[in-house]
Amino acid sequence: MAGEKIFSTSLFGFKKRDVNSYLEKMNREYEEKIRHKEKEIADIKAQYRDIKSKYDELNANINQLQEDRKKIADAIITAQEKAEAIIDEARRQAIDEKKRLEQQVEEEKEKLVDIKQELKGLKYEVVDKLKKYEGELSNIIEE
């Protein structure tokens, strides 16, 4: 053994003082090693608590990020659905407005046809009246 001690001998065996001092020395070394190991254990426990605390904090952050991600995804989906609904409504309104305007154009065309016919009728009336007045003026001039 590396720590093997050879004691000096006396009349009835080993010298008591050498054995006692060796045992005291071994006891001190053993207690020092125990204190050192207890300090290492305390340091490791402190590191474990720190790491556990950081792990718990990171885990809480991950959970919060996942919740935020879900909320954002839900918000984006909702916004997209609303946007699609708005676009669909705008398309429907545009189609309705186009139909209304086409109908209005058609009505205005019909009115224009009616006005043209009225103008044609008025033109014939004016031509007739002018011919009548021309005939009367011719009669008056001949007289």
DSSP assignment of 31-77 equals HHHHHHHHHHHHHHHHHHHHHHHHHHHHHHHHHHHHHHHHHHHHHHH
Residue range 24-62, pLDDT digits in tens: 899 999 999 999 999 999 999 999 999 999 999 999 999
Mapping DSSP to helix (H, G, I), strand (E, B) and coil, where does residue 8 land? Answer: coil
Distance CA 79, CA 40 (A): 57
Virtual CA dihedral for 121, 125, 127, 131, nearest 10 degrees?
Answer: 160
Residue 132's pLDDT is 86
Residue 7 in contact with residue 19, Cβ under 8 Å?
yes
CB within 8 A of 14, min separation 6: which ones? Answer: 7, 8
Q: Which residue has the tokens 């309104």?
A: 93
CB within 8 A of 15, min separation 6: which ones? Answer: 7, 8, 9
Residue range 57-115, pLDDT digits in tens: 999 999 999 999 999 999 999 999 999 999 999 999 999 999 999 999 999 999 999 99
| 1 has a pLDDT exceeding 50 | no
Distance CA 34, CA 71 (A): 54
CB within 8 A of 48, min separation 6: which ones? Answer: none
